[in-house]
Amino acid sequence: MREKVFIPASNEDIVNIYITQSQGIIVEVGMGEDVDGIFVPLAEQNYERYQFTNESFETNTKLKKMISDFKDEVFQYVDSTRTQIEQERALKKNIQ
């Protein structure tokens, strides 16, 4: 084992959110700094991981609605991006 220098930070934020069918919701919190209004996580750190199981998720109606609304909003971006990609592919196909 060896010692590692820890660089302290003054801010923390959610850096990853995973929504899975089998494991529920996994949230990772990391330390970082505010750089021009944007949170920048410190490099090479272990994120704190919190797992909300399907059981706790199913019994918390507020959390369940929040995740459902979030997924609906994300799908709007997915649909828009998918349409753009399909249009670009069609354009490239017509050029060839």
Taking only the tens place, the pLDDT of each residue in 41-67 is 888 778 889 888 767 666 778 877 887
pTM: 0.60
Cα distance between residue 40 and residue 49, in whole Å: 18
Burial class of residue 57 in the structure, from the number of CB atoms within 10 Å of its CB (0-12 exposed, 13-18 middle, 19+ buried)? middle
Q: What is residue 43's three-state secondary structure?
A: coil
Positions in the chain whose pLDDT score sits under 50: none
